[in-house]
Structure 1
Amino acid sequence: MPACSYVRPHEEETVSHDHGHHPHPHDEPGHHHPHRHTGGRLARLRHRLGHLLTPHSHESSDKLDAALESSAQGMRALWVSLAVLGVTAVAQAVIVVVSGSVALLGDTVHNAADALTAVPLGIAFVLGRRAATRRFTYGYGRAEDLAGIVIVVTIAASALFAAWSAVDRLLDPRAMDHLWAVAAAAVAGFLGNEWVARYRIRVGRRIGSAALVADGLHARTDGFTSLAVLLGAGGTALGWELADPVVGLLITAAIALVLRDAAREVFHRVMDAVDPALVDAAETALRAVPGVREVGQLRLRWIGHRLRAEVAVVVDGHLSVRAGHAIAVEAEHALLHAVPKLTAAVIHTDIQPDPGERDPHHALTHHATA
């Protein structure tokens, strides 16, 4: 049977087949493995009973509904958190004007910037709902990556502004008034940010959005920097005039740490990094599929908050095309259950060459990259 790539005919997105040569392991010639795992039959029996008790579907319409629902949840989380952080920032800004606290000013600017990161993420969620086209064959899910870059730039800008304000106050010290109001504003900033952090992280993990989870962690760090403003107010109350700008510099350092972590997250997503545990889970599920002799090249990538997979599996070269197709269908089915947030998989079937037979991919070797 010639090697073939399987794509479900009802898949809504246009999939481009990669015919480049890829290495894959082969069993020893003439050696056949009926099943690699003795518990495979029991696992398949439990899975089929689960289907009977709780029917479900992997049709593209169901996947589209799930993707739309997850985007709607993400949008809801963004706008609710935007409202909460917006109210918090406005309340803090009023006290900044009255008290003249530079530490509170830096914290207020950072909180406002954090609230505004909901805008690019919201745009990304809206774009992610659009169907794939002949130009954007994978859809518009990568807009979330672009939103992540905007968030990183926003955090960097807020760090620079906080540093500039603190240095200016060190060079030109000014008295801070209404210390109790500053302390109350700092507590309000912490409570608002912590609530938003919990909400964003919970929703982000539920829908599989790394950008939303990262933004929630960002909000949590903002909450702790708000508490740092209390130190500035306390130091000023004790007569240390430079306490406010010094705390402002500490907040700048905290923002820089957040910037580092956020930049790392965005870099990993842009570079198609995935959790190695997902790859392990996918390989384990594929090896348990009847007819799969070995798993070759396996690729996973995030597109927005959804995963796609491309994998080569080794099968018996004497199977019919129909039998090979059935194995590919079951392999995709296994992946959809084993890998959370996976919406599509391209299964390429490789054959085991007979003894003395030339590599079936020999005609493609001159296209192989160095």
Structure 2
Amino acid sequence: MPGPWHSLTPHSHDSSDKTDSALESSNRGLRVIGLSFAILTVTAVIQAVIVAFSGSVALLGDTLHNFADALTSVPLAVAFWLGRRAATSRYTYGYGRAEDLAGIVIVVLIALTAFLAGYQAIYRLINPQELSALAWVAAAGLVGFLGNEWVARYRIKVGKEIGSAALVADGLHARTDGFTSLAVLLSALGAFLGFPIADPIVGLAITAAILFVLRDAAREIYHRLMDAVDPTLVDQARTVLAATPGVRKVGSVRLRWIGHTLHAEVDILVPHTLSLVDAHAIAVDAEHRLTHEMPRLRAVTVHPDPDGPEGVDHHARLP
């Protein structure tokens, strides 16, 4: 039903479909996290083997960094798992917001990565260190960069497809880790060419790149926390509602992301001469059209208002 009671007892034809779709998105997110965790772990293991051959302390630090970063998949996996739980009388919208909390953790980790990369670059600029076993160092940097960049592209792609800002942010986090490994590769190349100063200079450049990634990730999570949506989604919803037979005007349209699903609250104006049953039918039709036209829209509350007669304010406070 489109009124207040409708949000409690939605029609079964869209309720089960949307729930199944949301669960599939969560399952897909968990698969991405599991596979990327495995790739990052293998990458770190390969680097650890190279560390054993080269004896490089710098590579040891980068390897431990990559192991730690692989573990950052844990809070996001917990968030997706929580998001699958049904709503309760306390958490009436479910647990989708856990993704936003995980996103905050990821943004903090990216900021920490930028700080450590900058600190290390400045330290090496003040205290130059000679690199040894350059071939092994370069190989470790290349492995770290390729592994993290593949994970970054995978997470960002799927995160955008299922509407998960936290998964996109985690993909950006993996990209920053790839940058730090790339710094190792470029530093080894600079030392090989006779420019040891290239090590801290490249480190500073990588720090700047990480700060740009941090800006994008923080903005993405901030928008979710503030219930921001793409204005084109609002325009799409208005177009669908306006095309619904019986809808004379479209009032307010409010959309919000909860995890990786959209929720909507909309007002429509229908002829004031209609019976309650007929107005209800129009509202139900509007809801169905919205849920079919907007794939990630999981729940809709439609409020019909009477349009007319002229000069009557139906929302005026009664004496």
TM-based fold match above 0.5:
yes
Task: Work out whether 1:153 is the aligned partner of 2:108.
Answer: yes
Q: 2:151 aligns with which of 192, 196, 200?
A: 196
Gaps of 5+ in 2: none
Structure 1 residue aligned with 2:317: 363
TM-fit CA distance, 1:331: 0.5
Cα offset for 1:161? 1.6
Alignment of structure 1 residues 151-300 onto 2, 5 Å: 151-300=106-255
Which SS does the other structure have where 1:362 is aligned? coil
TM-score, normalised relative to structure 2: 0.90
Higher helix share: 2
The C-alpha deviation readout for 1:254-289, integer Å capped at 9, x for no partner, is: 221111111111100100011111111100000000
Partner of 1:49: none
1:233 positional shift? 1.0
Q: CA deviation at 1:253?
A: 1.7
**Aligned match of 1:33:** none
- Residue 72 of structure 1 aligns with an amino acid whose one-letter code is N
Matches within 5 A, 1:300-319: 300-319=255-274
Per-residue displacement from partner, 1:296-350 (whole Å, max 9, x unpaired)? Answer: 1100000000000000001101100000000000000111122230011000111
Q: Which runs of 5+ in 1 are unaligned?
A: 13-56
Work out whether residues 183 and 199 of structure 2, in 8 Å CA contact, stay in contact via their aligned partners in 1. no
Pick aligned residue for 1:345 from 300, 315, 319: 300
How far apart are the structure 1 equivalents of 2:197 and 2:271? 76
**Which residue of 2 is the match for residue 72 of structure 1?**
27
Larger Rg: 1
Tell me the alpha carbon deviations over residues 221-279 of structure 1, each in whole angstroms, 9 at most, x when there is no partner: 54355334332112111222222222222222222111111111110010001111111
In structure 2, what is the equivalent of residue 323 of structure 1? 278
For residues 147-187 of structure 1, give each alpha carbon's deviation from its aligned partner in whole angstroms, at most 9, with x where no partner exists. 00000011111221222222222222221111011111121
- Return the offset for 1:290: 0.4
Equivalenced residue count is: 317
Q: State the distance in 2 between where 1:286 and 1:90 align.
A: 54
- Which moves more between the two structures, 219-228 or 180-189? 219-228
Q: Report the Cα distance in structure 1 between the residues aligned to 2:153 and 2:101, rounded to whole angstroms.
A: 24
Q: Which amino acid aligns with 1:7?
A: H
Change (3 A) 1:355 1:63: closer
Q: CA deviation at 1:93?
A: 4.7
- Structure 1 residue 205, shift from structure 2 partner: 3.1
| Alpha-carbon distance in 1 for matches of 2:234, 2:280 | 23
Mark the CA change 1:107 to 1:248 in structure 2 (over 3 Å): closer, same or farther: farther
2-side partners of 1:216 and 1:138: how far apart? Answer: 26
SS of equivalent residue, structure 1 residue 240: coil
> What is the distance in 1 between the residues matched to 2:209 and 2:67?
16
Alpha-carbon separation, structure 1, partners of 2:120 and 2:64: 11
Describe the shift of the 1:109–1:297 C-alpha distance in structure 2 as closer, same or farther (beyond 3 A): farther
Q: Residue type of the partner of 1:136?
A: Y
**1:362 corresponds to which letter in structure 2?**
A
Query: Match of 2:6?
Result: 7
Distance 1:355 1:65, change over 3 A: closer
Q: 1:63 to 1:338 in 2, by over 3 A?
A: closer
- Secondary structure of the residue aligned to 1:272 is coil
Residues 1:335 and 2:300 are matched in the alignment:
no
Is the Cα–Cα contact under 8 Å of residues 107 and 226 in structure 1 kept in the other structure?
yes
CA contact (8 A) 1:99 1:176 kept: no
Partner of 1:41: none
2:78 paired residue among 118, 123, 132:
123
User: 5 Å matches for 1:59-138?
Assistant: 59-93=14-48, 95=50, 98=54, 100=56, 102=58, 108=63, 111-138=66-93
SS at match of 1:331: helix
Task: Give distance in 1, aligned partners of 2:221 and 2:60.
Answer: 28
For 2:279, give the aligned amino acid: G
Q: Is the 8 A contact 1:101 1:176 kept in 2?
A: no
| CA gap 1:338/1:110 in 2 versus in 1, 3 angstroms | farther
Residue 110 of structure 1 contacts residue 155 of structure 1 at CA under 8 Å; is this kept in 2?
A: no
Q: Distance in 1 between matches of 2:304 and 2:156?
A: 39
Tell me the equivalent position of 1:26: none
TM-score between the two structures when normalised by the length of structure 1: 0.79
Cα gap change, 1:115 to 1:352, in 2 (>3 Å): same
3-state SS of 2:129 partner: coil
Is this contact kept in 1: 2:106–2:169, CA < 8 A? no
Asked if the contact 2:145/2:179 (under 8 Å) is kept, the reply is yes
**Residue type of the alignment partner of 1:342:** L
Give me the whole-angstrom Cα distance separating, in 1, the residues matched to 2:6 and 2:196.
69
Give 1:111 shift: 3.9
